[in-house]
A = this chain, B = another copy of it.
């Protein structure tokens, strides 16, 4: 096991000199420092110890150390609604000047009138129209700029901070800890792949090629002698529920040995991870902290956690109790 932030050679010297037992290391605060000394923290450390110890029967070669993370509700918050939906709503308001017809057409009318009930009434069809109107009919480069500019300016309604500051400090530490132990960390999110890529490298240390997500189709075109990729108003792939193992296979082509989620949308990803040979780590973030973040599970429309929590209990998967297990929530 390598210790996050403790140079490997120093650790090796320390251990070989018998100055530090492995048990002592596990409760060493330099590993996952924003975590209380909880079962969930210990599960993560025990797993990493087992798969990185060459003398352990659970040893896994570095190339096979694939860890996947849901994004919404697992790496950053998802309330009062998925941040990408809030982005789409903001975009409709900006774009409305060029679309006078939106004043009288749903789902745009509901958005412009801040009528959340009416928006909800438009259902999946309305949501899809909202996404296509705000996410398609521009080049991939233009969309990247739009997302980047929105993130730089928009503020979360409750915390009054940029959305990409509402990421979980304890999970940033898990990402770094796994990478320090030669894991490759991937995002596998129901969110849009191109909505995440512009910012996740700076925030999570996850490069664009390690992001799996939902997508619309794109088309190669040469415009004024310059090749571009145009985003089309047509669904390509929904990376949620049964789609997550499909997306993992399509993009990664190996089965992960560790998976982190927070909702029923992550259940199949956890099942797929659990079904592989050898040591596995399946983790659910349970939102239990109404004061510092939000408390919700089976009755929530956003990030519903019901079946996956039952299955976690039945299979001994790790469940993070956000309120009890995390010393801090956000980096700020």
Q: Contact residues of A with B, CB < 8 Å?
A: 63, 66, 140, 184, 193-194, 197, 201, 207-211, 215, 218-220, 222, 226-227, 229, 236, 242-243, 245-246, 249-254, 268, 271-272, 275
Contacts and interface: CB of A to CB of B under 8 A. Distances in A.
A250 B213 CA distance: 10
A267 to B, nearest CB: 10
A257 to B, nearest CB: 14
Nearest to A63: B207
A268 B227 contact: yes
Q: Which of A211, A245, A271 has most chain B Cβ within 10 Å?
A: A245
A107 to B, nearest CB: 27
A250 B209 CA distance: 9
A99 to B, nearest CB: 27
Contacts of A140: 249
Nearest to A144: B253
A249 B229 contact: yes
11 contacts: A66-B209, A208-B253, A211-B253, A218-B246, A218-B250, A220-B246, A220-B272, A222-B271, A226-B275, A227-B275, A236-B250
Given A226-B275, A229-B245, A245-B227, A254 B209 contact: yes
A285 B35 CA distance: 54
Contact of A268 (B184, B220, B251): B220
Contacts of A184: 209
Contacts of A272: 220, 227
Given A207-B63, A226-B275, A242-B219, A251 B251 contact: yes
Contacts of A209: 66, 184, 209-210, 251-254
Contacts of A246: 218-220, 229
B208 A271 contact: no
Nearest to A66: B209
A198 to B, nearest CB: 9
Nearest to A222: B271
Contacts of A211: 253
Given A184-B209, A229-B245, A242-B219, A193 B271 contact: no
A251 B210 CA distance: 8
Contacts of A226: 275
A51 B275 CA distance: 43
A215 B66 CA distance: 22
A236 B208 CA distance: 22
Given A252-B208, A252-B209, A271 B215 contact: no
Nearest to A245: B220
Contacts of A251: 209, 251
A55 to B, nearest CB: 25
Nearest to A221: B242
A245 B218 CA distance: 9
Contacts of A271: 222, 227
